[in-house]
Structure 1
Amino acid sequence: MDTQRVGINELAYKDQGEGQTVILLHGFCGSSDYWEKVMPLLDQYRVIAVDLRGHGESGIPEGGYSIEDMAKDIYYFMDQKQLKDVYMLGHSLGGYVTLSFAQNFPDKLKGFGLIHSTPLPDNENTKDKRTESIDNIDSKGMYSFIDEMVPALFSKNRLEELKEEINKVKVIGYNTSPAGAKETLKAMRSRGDLQHVIENTSLPVLLVAGANDSVVPKEKTFTSDRPHVKKILLEESGHMGIYEEPEKLTYEIKNFIEETK
């Protein structure tokens, strides 16, 4: 892992390969390790996987923060690395950050994608669940919270088959700081509706959903029929296609890049 000072914070990241730059942003209570099965399959590109603030080995600044702040971290990171014309792909939380980035810094992108994510804001029920999660982290601790959360991310009918992957995701989650998890839950709870970003962008967009995703159902991912939007359904995946169908996912990411670069 390398680190880059970004304002008052420090971001950890992995940087491998050469060619077209692809930036990967992980989901909630994840890290750049979430892409361990995907990165080796994207070996014809320069792939940079970043630990978002409050996650992995990245720092967490004092005080609260928003999804927009997380996107600005990536902007300043790219600026310091002199990166432009990149493809940015975000899983779940990473998709929220990607969309915020696309709204505010579209000239830095060549295309972007949401994987098991949505441009839609939380409804009242989901907001209440975010608040409940914050309370659970306070009362029960991260280990209990992660043990309860992670299995629900995977296809119910593949839990035994994917036991090793589930344990890997749990270990990554255990390493998330409680403060980082709680501040990120608040940021996700307060984010706005960014459907207009997908509808109005001039950039190519990839939307990937899991057929068995109980966290972000495909209807919340596939929110646009515009011609610049490509929609892919992972038939054997829940919310974790990065572990459930990494080969299929990577194949579709490559096709998207090669068709639009």
Structure 2
Amino acid sequence: MTKQVQLANGLDVSYRDEGSGGETIILLHGFCGSSSYWEKIIPLLSPAFRVLAIDLRGHGGSSAPDEPYTMERFAEDLASFLDKLDLSAVHLFGHSLGGYVTLAFAEKHADRLKSFGLIHSTGFPDDEAAKANRDKGAENIRANGMEPFIKALVPKLFAPAHLASMPDEVKAAKEIGLATQPIGAIQTLKGMRDRQDRSRVLESTKLPVLLVAGTEDQIIPSEKTFTASGPNVEQVLLSKAGHMGMLEAPKELADAIVRFLSKN
């Protein structure tokens, strides 16, 4: 069920709320995505958990204010969201951009987490080349709108073989991306460009951590995801998946999340 709530800062947040029993899972999508990224995952998790999939600011049905979108601001949006729904401690999983937000949240609000996970994401910041590409992307969107940007972006998100074998999933990702408000995409690009190195959060946390990567990920390779190890860290490699495990390997990803949560 899709719902909307207004946060204390005035931001309108759209989210999906499924399942009524068990503990609460929060799912955060990636850049130019939305809660719709999780459509195949939610039915696999909701029988045992309450699943909340949020549209981050600037994405999906949420507000897109023209102001800086730092990872810290995204994290405070989430804290306000938990306050609004009277949720004390949750399991938080973030895909790509959502993983950057997850780490920012874990750094400041670890007491509000039971566990967290990065899905095709990393604790590392952008290098100089990546920062330049963020700027080029923002300029492209400002000059030409979302369509050429999304048409160039989406094919890179999938394993090359899946561009032909998963046309419906590729089409869905394009449609979701095209629904992103241009100012939201521009401000998010700037926020990702300027984000801090939070690899230390992964290395130092005592919370249970799930790290998920894809063997065919062209955006964030597994070595940039699997940067922490230890008794509290579980690493899962999705065979043949690119950057979109929730669409390319939904059952495998859902099974990994359920196994992880059953231990924690």
> Shared fold (TM-score greater than 0.5)?
yes
Instruction: Report the Cα distance in structure 1 between the residues aligned to 2:69 and 2:262, rounded to whole angstroms.
Output: 35
1:100 aligns with 2:100: no
Q: What does 1:50-129 correspond to in 2, within 5 Å?
A: 50-129=54-133
TM-score (norm 2): 0.97
Instruction: Report the Cα distance in structure 2 between the residues aligned to 1:153 and 1:245, rounded to whole angstroms.
Output: 13
- What SS does the aligned partner of 1:3 have? strand
Identity %: 48
- Runs of 4 or more, structure 1, over 4 Å off, are none
Q: CA deviation at 1:72?
A: 0.4
Could you report, residue by residue, the CA deviation over 1:127-177 in whole angstroms, capped at 9, with x for unpaired residues?
011111111112222011101100110001221001110000000001000
Q: CA deviation at 1:226?
A: 2.2
1:155 matched to which residue of 2?
Answer: 159
Instruction: Report the Cα distance in structure 2 between the residues aligned to 1:245 and 1:111, rounded to whole angstroms.
Output: 22
Could you report, residue by residue, the CA deviation over 1:169-197 in whole angstroms, capped at 9, with x for unpaired residues?
00000100000000000000000110111
1:181 aligns with 2:182: no
Could you report, residue by residue, the CA deviation over 1:7-54 in whole angstroms, capped at 9, with x for unpaired residues?
121111011112110000000000000000000000210000000000
Does the aligned pair in 2 maintain the 1:8–1:61 contact within 8 Å?
no
1:4 aligns with 2:8: no
Q: 1:141 to 1:61 in 2, by over 3 A?
A: closer
Does the aligned pair in 1 maintain the 2:32–2:177 contact within 8 Å?
yes
Does the aligned pair in 1 maintain the 2:66–2:187 contact within 8 Å?
no
Instruction: Report the Cα distance in structure 2 between the residues aligned to 1:40 and 1:230, rounded to whole angstroms.
Output: 23
Gaps of 5+ in 2: none
- What SS does the aligned partner of 1:98 have? helix
Judge which range, 76-85 or 177-186, deviates more. Answer: 76-85
TM-score (norm 1): 0.98
Could you report, residue by residue, the CA deviation over 1:215-260 in whole angstroms, capped at 9, with x for unpaired residues?
0010100001222110000011000000000000000000000111
Paired letter, 1:3: Q
Does the aligned pair in 1 maintain the 2:66–2:183 contact within 8 Å?
no
- What SS does the aligned partner of 1:148 have? helix
Judge which range, 238-247 or 1-10, deviates more. Answer: 1-10
CA RMSD of aligned residues (A): 0.8
- What SS does the aligned partner of 2:236 have? strand
2:243 matched to which residue of 1?
Answer: 239
Could you report, residue by residue, the CA deviation over 1:86-139 in whole angstroms, capped at 9, with x for unpaired residues?
100000000000110000101110000000000000000110111111111122
1:16 matched to which residue of 2?
Answer: 18
